[in-house]
Chains A and B, each alone.
Chain A
Amino acid sequence: DAGITQSPRHKVTETGTPVTLRCHQTENHRYMYWYRQDPGHGLRLIHYSYGVKDTDKGEVSDGYSVSRSKTEDFLLTLESATSSQTSVYFCAISETGQSTGELFFGEGSRLTVL
């Protein structure tokens, strides 16, 4: 099985503070994704990466930035957190190494913005 570690798993922060979530994979896969999960919305794509330094926006990218300086790490940054960014964030990789939608997900990072 693919290995994904998300950190931190839980974080409480205040409005206006910067937050960085980390996703680390052990599979050397090219495609990595950040989704957010909210009740009534399912999962929505924030950003994805198709290689080192290669990223693109998803459906709900406003207020978020990402970086990928190494194959194994994909960082999601909230420059100035807002209460609307309270959510559960999931990192995923493509199980096949291609962009076929067959995703393997991490266990999630729960972020609360007060």
Chain B
Amino acid sequence: AQSVTQPDIHITVSEGASLELRCNYSYGATPYLFWYVQSPGQGLQLLLKYFSGDTLVQGIKGFEAEFKRSQSSFNLRKPSVHWSDAAEYFCAVGAKTGANNLFFGTGTRLTVIP
């Protein structure tokens, strides 16, 4: 069965520090992988995606993620966090044959302290 695990419910980092949010997935085939971000009271916004090819993908707002097939992971990173990055982050997985049903993780809430 498909599933996505985000082991960290809440992470707090200082502004300017580096960030890594973890995502592990279980999927029967090579999936499409996504990271979405949600600011309070808003809908989700696509940060980045992995379909194939280079396993390090770049996204918006200075974020990147690395697909590691051997570890079934797709961790999100940012070298220097800004206060505006405070939000909830969701990892999602979908099928290459038609990603109509994305499976989302339960999310990681990021707090940024000055």
By a beta-carbon cutoff of 8 Å, the part of chain A in contact with chain B is 4, 31, 33, 40-45, 48, 50, 56, 58-59, 90, 92, 95, 99-108
Contact = CB atoms under 8 A, between A and B. Distances in A.
Most chain B Cβ neighbours within 10 Å, of A31, A43, A45: A43
B100 A103 contact: no
A105 B100 contact: no
B71 interface: no
A42 B3 CA distance: 11
Interface stretch (B11-19, B42-50, B61-69): B42-50
B25 to A, nearest CB: 13
A43 B32 contact: no
A60 B36 CA distance: 21
Contacts of B44: 43, 90, 92, 103, 105
Contact of B98 (A44, A99, A106, A108): A99
